[in-house]
Structure 1
């Protein structure tokens, strides 16, 4: 197109930036619809424990133990699912961070290409002007040409030095951000694991105390032991309800991270399209 400015010409000559194979795989995975695999699993634990009550025996003590054991198994399964969701959440955060870093690198590379194209166009104009001036005055053309080349070299050298310093600072900031994110997430996971271990230990000790009490006082307070088992079952069911809420929160955070990562890739597409 005639009448285009040098900046527009340099931008049009900028070579396209392409994603490598691993980044394209991540991009394709993020554009798939969010999985709903785990959305209905949280409510199945309590429902399965309640459904098992239909096969109770005529022994009330045995019924209470069977019901309590089933609820405990459901709670363990739910805890395992939450651990998997936490791992998936960490991977999603890592992908979001990598996508943003990749976008910054692409923008930096585009700026370098534009600067190189602009410098090349400037040099071409200076050489053409020098050739036109040579027809009128050879000596003046040589002096102007030498000065123009010197100025161009100094400008390119200064721009390159500034660009190298900018890239070094961006890489350092990205590395620090990634380090802080990893440390914070690892600490959070460690604390959660410690809490779960303490809860499991406390539950095991409580079951052991109940078992010993059952052996010592079964003949004296049979009906009271059944009530105790029922109370423990209700406590476990309450813990399951809390874990279900936590599971839903993890799922919602994962969805938000997927949306954030999808937005980052959309921004990356716009940068590539420009």
Structure 2
């Protein structure tokens, strides 16, 4: 009897992608507390990946032009991917590839059940199938992957509301553009009620120094879905929940900067920023000047 062939079973949440590429990742989110996704930034020499079966959906956002051959299931193809292109390998498919030149990419690994998450309302059957996709131009995915990479580089120890907002938008985009099932969306015309909006704003102001999560804000509004909460919040205010939190933190920072003996680093932490640097960046973006300059003029 011949031996039964078994592909490599790869769980990227456990860092196993290193088993099928030559070099370890330059950057990973494994210790950052991200719940839905794993992000890895790779720069790899030419390589052949053994046939592998990934337990997560795999999105590769290319940062460098590359030629490759791949096989998913029984289908063999050659591709020429450019910077800004992506490849999408759905979970639980046998996948092989050979890359013939140096390549750089951001890898996003998504648990199937996490991808559905609180989007259950628009996929009531509770089942999602993604379409295998290769060398596809997708500016939104690639820009979001780069934004997540940059946030991980500057804030490697935690999951911010900004990251959650990006991941939520990324999930929706993947499901709408690459899902086999059609979403069943609801139409809301009025946004959050005044009462619910006030509850959210009150929650934000009471927790500015803490790591505010998207789910916390949705709970404050008594809405089970973060997806619908974000839509309703923006309809009511014209801005996203993340933008609202940043504005509230900047306003608090302006008040605290009027206390001349209070160090700016303490103000940054009191306003919920991870560092003085991140506070300065956000403050300059919104006010046009640094916190130090603002203090001198107040």
* TM-score above 0.5, yes or no: no
Classify the TM-score, shorter chain. under 0.3
Question: With CA pairs under 8 Å and 6+ residues apart, which has the higher RCO, 1 or 2?
Answer: 1
- The higher radius of gyration belongs to 1
Please identify which structure carries the higher strand content. 2
Please identify which structure carries the higher helix content. 1
Q: What is the TM-score when the length of structure 1 is the normalising length?
A: 0.26
